[in-house]
Structure 1
Amino acid sequence: MGVKGLQYFMDQCCPEACVTVNLRQVARDHAAKIQGDSTSTAHNTGPTLVVDGMACLRHWYSCKDWMCGGQWKEYVDVLKRWVEAFTSAGIRLVFFFDGVVEEKKRAVWVKRRHRVNGDISKIFCHVRKYGEQPGGNLFCLPSGLATFTPFALRSLNQEVFCSVQEADYEIADYARQNNCIGILGQDSDFIVYDSAPYFSVGKLWMKNLTTVMYDRQKLCQNIGLTITQLPLLACLLGTDVVSEEKMQHVRNDAIETYMKNNPAPHGCAPQGQVVYAVSQLVSRWCSREEESDAVPQFLGLPAHQTDLLKKGICAYRLSEQRSPELDGLTAPSPAFERHVSPEILKACREKHVAAEGFMLYSVLCEGVTDCSNTLEDEEDGEILPQALVYKPCRRRIYGLLLLLGQDGQSVDCPTIKEWFVFPGNPLKEPEVVHPVPICLPCDQPSLDLLWFSSGPEVTALRLTAFLSIFDCTELFNLYGVVEDALLAALCLVTYIILQVQTLSQEDADAYLSQAVCLRLKTSQELQQIELPVLCSRAVQLGSLYVRGLSHLLGANSASGCPLPSAALMPWHSFDGRLFHSKYLLAHSGAEKPELLMDSDPSCLSLFLQLREKLAEICMRRGRVLQSRPKVSPPSPQTTPEDERRDRHTGWSPVGGESWRGRGETSRGHGHGGGWPDRGEERSDGTEYGHRERLWGRGGGGGGGHAGAGVQQCHSFSPEWRDGGPQNATRPQKQSGGRPRRGRGRYQLAPRWSQPPAPGT
């Protein structure tokens, strides 16, 4: 949310309400006050500052590189230093992040997404023209930053919450109920809420922890209102609930009256005069009528605008301030309560609020899921947008959550509404997506079994369900053989290669080599990587990978967490600068794989093992992974005509077609083939080595229903596609083929060079 022009007004026209404060001193004063208050409940927690995490993302991400996919190890180090600065000052931090997009604000969300898409288009134009990261105002946070930051903070032992309604509201409500020293954010709504003091993160100096406090009491003294009148003022000025356009006529009348009554108005900009004019309008109403939460009748608004104003005012009333007339809010029923047990819904909400889950709450409780902007080049028709690349795995996640059977049938045929941002999507309405079942050798397991039960068979079933979502069950044999983070990385790279037919062997090598090498590099070493040029295609591939990690996280949660969530974090398997350097090296015609692996024998061996497994799965799926190296890095002097002829790849897509022309890949895979056109489906903190992480439970039995699920699957083999005896908890390491060199390039053994015969 945000009040149009209010914070500008305070900065420019009401400087006495902008007070510079030292947060250390604020904390000391607050602690002294608590000590003297025998009734206070804050003795055990100490001075607490509530942090609006979404508003702080740009403040936190100070890394040099932001285009290549994110410098995640460095980012975690930044967060650690930031947290330590406050804790050393005796300040306890509590973080809140947006967990939902409320439907009443969807239009505003869409408008902002379109605006950001315009910025992203300019960013890629700059990269194609100059081969470098743009500066100035062309800045975009790395894709997935809002998704993974709560996990990073939890890994630093911080208390993190994810909202189930408007995050600003929950922040203000928490701060008021817990007697916090203040709210740290960058949103003028915190001026309007009758809550704790509002501190600006945009004006925060970390060296001495000084910032500006926006004093709502002094604001009210300046404009002649009371604090309880601020919500009406905000709605008349314009908020995300009551748009600026809706109340334009009211402001026009207020300004006309104000100018007549004030021949010498306050000396500030026209935007400031609007605040004074509307404030006088509200003040005049209160002098004639008893102050209440009602909308003044003399405004003469039609019924629908009066109702809108009431909703806007209600949005600013915190839980203990709401009146029955304005509240009228009841918690909506979960979208799919008939498809899952109450225990699942409870666990789902708990995990969501604690910022431990991803995607599940929005699907099961809201029936809606969304994804914000991604760094994607709208001019590059060879790489599918991430929303389409990961749509097949999302549909399987939905199928697992909603208990679709092998025949794809379920009661009431549930569907999910998706709001995913990508070039060409007008976002006029959500896409209605139908779940599909995952392919298992047994009956569909219940979520109660996967989330709450224990035992080796359930452990194996969880991992198989997870891998089935990405059509990579052959990777089961690597569980316990390679690190969890590398297993997750290989699963993701395999899925990407199978879905995006235009990717080459060099692309796969860049993905895998950086994941292997990252384990041995510090954040300082990663910062020192020099990139001679930026490639727009590599930028998009980096963002594609990071978005894939969030889908791994959702699939892992839906499957009962066979892998620790820490293994799915980008700082364990991805760094943007490292990936970009490996991409340029792989496409430059490097003769030996040793060059990709920094001449480290142990890394080389591991890289070849992962590469071999990828080739094996590609062979089974009939995916021919070809070598298509770039002849040379892109030149900063490349002309637009050259760019259209050569999208920084040195090769053209099969048949010269792009995803926009086809609406699907050249070869579908998984359940139901490739991607239908959007119109077709409209009818449509865990310990790192912990192997049996259960869904928030101690591993107790899941009851009769869960037990039945175990019996149904008691004889299944995790490697059911390949056959052969397997150890369900720690498979034996498989021997692999050795690479050979030929024609100046390194290639896999001939037995993987041809696709399998039909029917194999």
Structure 2
Amino acid sequence: MGVRGLQGFVGSTCPHICTVVNFKELAEHHRSKYPGCTPTIVVDAMCCLRYWYTPESWICGGQWREYFSALRDFVKTFTAAGIKLIFFFDGMVEQDKRDEWVKRRLKNNREISRIFHYIKSHKEQPGRNMFFIPSGLAVFTRFALKTLGQETLCSLQEADYEVASYGLQHNCLGILGEDTDYLIYDTCPYFSISELCLESLDTVMLCREKLCESLGLRVADLPLLACLLGNDIIPEGMFESFRYKCLSSYTSVKENFDKKGNIILAVSDHISKVLHLYQGEKKLEEILPLGPNKALFYKGMASYLLPGQKSPWFFQKPKGVITLDKQVISMSSDAESREEVPMCSDPESRQEVPMCTGAESRQEVPMCTGPESRREVPMYTDSEPRPEVPMCSDPESRQEVPVCTGPESRQEVPMCSDPEPRQEVPMCTGPESRQEVPMYTDSEPRQEVPMYTGPESRQEVLIWTDPESRQEIMCTGHESKQEVSICTDPISKQEDSMCTHPEINKKLPVATDFEFKLEALMRTNPEIKQEDPTNVGPEVKQQVTMVSDTEILKVARTHHVQAESYLVYNIMSSGEIECSNTLEDELDQALPSQAFIYRPIRQRVYSLLLEDCQDVTSTCPAVKEWFVYPGNPLRHPDLVRPLQMTIPGGMPSLKILWLNEEPEIQVRRLDTLLACFNLSSSREELQAVESPFQALCCLLIYLFVQVDTLCLEDLHAFIAQALCLQGKSTSQLVNLQPDYINPRAVQLGSLLVRGLTTLVLVNSACGFPWKTSDFMPWNVFDGKLFHQKYLQSEKGYAVEVLLEQNRSRLTKFHNLKAIVCKACMKENRRITGRAHWGSHHAGRWGRQGSSYHRTGSGYSRSSQGQPWRDQGPADPSAVQ
């Protein structure tokens, strides 16, 4: 993560940048400097997972009771020092970083292959050098921290940006993490989690000011250095030749430094001695070999600008205008404006014209005429030049369509016109001005349709995408009651809404991020030429969601930000989700990947969350799934369609499930949850099960119905470990040691834990019919304990031995086993012992008479199909 080579450079070449500090002393100094202000540390939780996971065993599925205890000790230590912790988790993967995400997942696949090879060869857990965090660790850490009373937040964009922003805006003591990007951001101090000694609260502070002194740079130069070296946005190879040119002309190469260290010194030297000479006189693209990578480079630069910050390296046009051939785009680096950036496109020319805010005025700049004066209002306000800036021309009418720049100018400046109807569709911005701006014309209505984004307006707007032409279109509807939420900064908590045109029947996923999809514009409009991409900031972020009900979206967004749900908001907003690597043996053809096993559940959840779609099977858009499984090259997401389900009383709306507090609604919530697992027929039996085994029992029924290579011995091991766990102390679990490590048991442990994360998704989507604590792994699963029970069951040990001769557990065991077996029999699935297996268990899986096939989880046991991992994406014809 972070800047290529910088971590090693700091440790080897510039060790003086790292200073040992003590958090207790820093907190005391902070309290004396800011009386009444609690010292607060912002924690990048994703960077800390490896540090927090201290249990010796990690291969068996996770030592969750031990892990929870370690987290509790971590929190207690800081609390005792009077330090408040704010934890941030990644809530999504930004599109610019998807390639890097894929690269890391594929690398992890290779590591997992080596892990299973080691297990098969040695029958033991590999050393810590091959450590792989247990599946679901990030998800369950959120809930563990919340259980411990900590403020836990899930990001709406890249987490490191939100961490850096929060630390800057709230005058925090510092940031705790392990990412060199925090050296680049101009924010509060950055502390290393890997160097933290919890007993003394000593750690290492990495000082960006000292880094700049060593490199001869200014803090404002660090984003430029980061992009030239390569980071998560800029591929390392993009400026490779440039770096070597810098190295060849660098006169102070030190033989005792490594190659990357010398490159960092050479690039820094070039910035300070060459680029500084032209700063303010030439554009960056004139002094750097940006070439066709100009847009990506500016995105990388802008990604480091926090709210209120600007870069001296952006050649400033008046008010930050970006010209894309016939398009004009205004972008602001001032994140505090946080205003909507409406876009208008001409359906013929396919040109998108975003409208943005003034970087200094912090308010939206109106683009057209006010309804009272009927005089054209210019788009940009520049106090000096007031010439017209040509924006686009109509190819048929040959008329130039200028944009006027003077705030006091009274000239009419049409913005965009359509040669056919020649009528204007005004657009109004600004919460107070209520001035309308002609954006483009509509050939049908032949009348002005005002568009307004101010908070007092009752007029509504939709941005949508035509799947045929791939044009982004903005339209309005006064009578529509449907709204589409625009994501805003989680700190400001501001909500803006957009509404749908009453004639639009389908809700199509659209995502326009802070760079306005410049690459997409360039791909679909080859004629576009960039002239000056400047002042782009991730805070100018806009998203049109798949669900139009803003009230429901607000609830989903709140649960997401507060880390109370999993994947729900991602599905409803962008229609895109991901799941990282799982310990799965790619050579084991008998057990399917968790990605396929739990897919039918996710598909039913999609039909619930995307309730606006009338005909779920045909019109509802597919959800893009970036799920890692053996054999998946991750070149494209799997496009997965929602799956209809039958619920007693019919499909309830999300407003009923999420907002209705009447007691009888709890019954409907549970009915919906069981329908997601296709277990409505087992409702009475499951309700009779006590907590926390009800959720686990539901999950086991689903697993054994889905996967016919699971046998009776597996069921015994799952149930026995859950029952025995209730009587175990943390110290007993620490001292537990399985005889050896079985690769199949490793997969089953990870499979169950992934099922528990799926339960989090379903439970939050259905309005929380079950207590979340009932299926937290520290209450129902322990990796080593399961491994022990699995090995005993595989050897044919009696149930009494599995249950450690405890009579009360024996009764519960038989009750749970009977419920699972009975429910499976209803689905024509008879669970047998391994001794009864025939050759048909060599690799086929799925439920008898399944209708899922490729749109579901897999093949029927009666089919003659291929092994599971040949099935490909859920909708192969839809792969883009």
Distance in 1 between residues matched to 2:158 and 2:612, nearest whole Å? 32
Tell me by how many angstroms 1:520 deviates: 1.7
Tell me by how many angstroms 1:573 deviates: 0.8
Say whether 1:557 aligns with 2:764.
yes
- Structure 1 contact 377–540 (Cα < 8 Å) conserved: yes
Higher helix share: 1
- Structure 2 contact 547–612 (Cα < 8 Å) conserved: no
Say whether 1:321 aligns with 2:309.
yes
Tell me by how many angstroms 1:240 deviates: 0.8
Say whether 1:681 aligns with 2:875.
yes
> What are the residue-to-residue correspondences of 1:280-679 with 2, within 5 Å?
280-290=269-279, 295=284, 297-302=286-291, 304-322=292-310, 323=333, 324=359, 325-327=534-536, 330-338=540-548, 341-403=549-611, 408-409=616-617, 412-478=619-685, 481-591=688-798, 593-628=799-834, 654=840, 656=842, 658=843, 665=846, 667-669=848-850, 675=858, 677-679=871-873
Distance in 2 between residues matched to 1:30 and 1:294, nearest whole Å? 41
Alignment CA distance shift 1:478-1:295 (3 Å) = farther
2:233 maps to which of 230, 241, 245: 241
Distance in 2 between residues matched to 1:95 and 1:524, nearest whole Å? 27
Tell me by how many angstroms 1:530 deviates: 2.3
Q: Deviation per CA, 1:619-663, whole angstroms, max 9, x where unpaired?
A: 11100111116xxxxxxxxxxxxxxxxxxxx9665164x25xxxx
Distance in 2 between residues matched to 1:621 and 1:296, nearest whole Å? 65
Q: Deviation per CA, 1:367-401, whole angstroms, max 9, x where unpaired?
A: 10110000011111100010011111111111111
Distance in 2 between residues matched to 1:406 and 1:587, nearest whole Å? 49
Cross-structure match for 1:79:
71
Cross-structure match for 1:638:
none
Q: Deviation per CA, 1:108-155, whole angstroms, max 9, x where unpaired?
A: 111111111111111111111111101142110111101110100010
> What are the residue-to-residue correspondences of 1:69-218 with 2, within 5 Å?
69-218=61-210
Alignment CA distance shift 1:674-1:372 (3 Å) = closer
In structure 1, the residue corresponding to 2:542 is in which secondary structure? coil
Tell me by how many angstroms 1:474 deviates: 3.9
In structure 2, the residue corresponding to 1:625 is in which secondary structure? coil
Distance in 1 between residues matched to 2:753 and 2:819, nearest whole Å? 21
Tell me by how many angstroms 1:7 deviates: 2.0
Alignment CA distance shift 1:27-1:652 (3 Å) = farther
- Structure 2 contact 20–203 (Cα < 8 Å) conserved: yes
In structure 1, the residue corresponding to 2:665 is in which secondary structure? helix
- Structure 1 contact 362–368 (Cα < 8 Å) conserved: yes
Distance in 2 between residues matched to 1:227 and 1:291, nearest whole Å? 17
Distance in 2 between residues matched to 1:481 and 1:407, nearest whole Å? 35
State the AA in 1 paired with 2:840: V
State the AA in 2 paired with 1:124: F
Distance in 2 between residues matched to 1:137 and 1:292, nearest whole Å? 51
Distance in 1 between residues matched to 2:119 and 2:742, nearest whole Å? 7
Cross-structure match for 1:3:
3
Cross-structure match for 1:711:
none
State the AA in 2 paired with 1:350: T
> What are the residue-to-residue correspondences of 1:252-271 with 2, within 5 Å?
252-258=244-250, 261-262=251-252, 265=254, 267-271=256-260
Distance in 2 between residues matched to 1:293 and 1:626, nearest whole Å? 76
In structure 1, the residue corresponding to 2:710 is in which secondary structure? coil
TM-score normalised by structure 2 residue count: 0.71
Tell me by how many angstroms 1:246 deviates: 0.5
Distance in 2 between residues matched to 1:403 and 1:182, nearest whole Å? 43
Alignment CA distance shift 1:292-1:671 (3 Å) = farther
- What's the Cα RMSD here? 2.1
Alignment CA distance shift 1:170-1:679 (3 Å) = closer
Distance in 1 between residues matched to 2:197 and 2:809, nearest whole Å? 42
Distance in 2 between residues matched to 1:11 and 1:478, nearest whole Å? 60
Tell me by how many angstroms 1:476 deviates: 2.7
2:219 maps to which of 224, 227, 234: 227
- Structure 1 contact 405–443 (Cα < 8 Å) conserved: no
- Structure 2 contact 175–188 (Cα < 8 Å) conserved: yes
Distance in 1 between residues matched to 2:726 and 2:299, nearest whole Å? 51
Distance in 2 between residues matched to 1:611 and 1:587, nearest whole Å? 17
Matched residues, number: 643
2:40 maps to which of 43, 48, 51: 48
Distance in 1 between residues matched to 2:608 and 2:847, nearest whole Å? 27
Alignment gaps of 5+ in structure 1: 36-42, 630-649, 685-760
Alignment gaps of 5+ in structure 2: 311-332, 334-358, 360-533, 860-870
- Structure 1 contact 597–604 (Cα < 8 Å) conserved: yes
Alignment CA distance shift 1:221-1:406 (3 Å) = closer
Alignment CA distance shift 1:300-1:115 (3 Å) = closer
